[in-house]
Structure 1
């Protein structure tokens, strides 16, 4: 159903964000994080400001 699909999508996005945060904490290059998470550079830069 629609709510379940929306929940799955949100969960996947949150997972990508957690991976990106861990990679940032380990000084991984932003372009590498983009490649592995599918997040945009601006999203990753925003996350790096929140660490």
Structure 2
């Protein structure tokens, strides 16, 4: 994957995490936290790939 895809994935995951309480009103806090963690991992992967290049 190239860095652009990682950044797009991270952005999508963060937007989904922010929207989740409106989509699933109850029990969404854990799911939103997981989505935020996945977004952070995508950003970390993009930063790693930038350093490796």
Alignment TM-score, normalising by the size of structure 2? 0.49
Q: Rg: which structure is higher? A: 2
Structure 2 gaps, min length 5:
1-26
Report which structure shows greater RCO (CA 8 Å, sep ≥6).
2
- 2:44: which partner in 1? 18
CA distance in 1, matches of 2:42, 2:33: 14
Structure 1 gaps, min length 5:
28-51
Alignment TM-score, normalising by the size of structure 1? 0.51
Q: Aligned pair 1:8/2:39, yes or no?
A: no
Task: Report the number of matched residues.
Answer: 27
